Amino acid sequence: MWSVGTWSCERVLEGHTWYVTSLAINDRFLFSSSDDQTIRVWRRGKCQRVLPSGYVLSLAVSGELLISGVTRGVIRVWSLATWGCVRQLSGHTGWVRSLAVGAGLLFSGSDDKSVRLWRLGTWECIRVLEGHSSSVTAVAVMGERIFSGSMDKAVRVWDRVA
**pTM for this prediction:** 0.93
Strand intervals (E) in 26-113 = 30-34, 38-43, 46-52, 56-62, 65-70, 74-79, 85-90, 96-102, 105-110
| Residue-range domains of the chain with CATH | 57-159 (2.40.128.630)
Rounded to a whole number, what is the distance in angstroms from the first to the last CA of the chain?
40
pLDDT digits 0-9 by tens, 11-62: 999 999 999 999 999 999 999 999 999 999 999 999 999 999 999 999 999 9
Instruction: Give the model's confidence band at 161: pLDDT under 50 very low, under 70 low, under 90 confident, else very high.
Output: low
Distance, in Å, from the CA atom of 28 to the CA atom of 43, rounded to the nearest integer, reads: 7
**CB burial class (10 A; 0-12, 13-18, 19+) of residue 157?**
exposed
* Contact (Cβ atoms closer than 8 angstroms) between residue 36 and residue 61: no
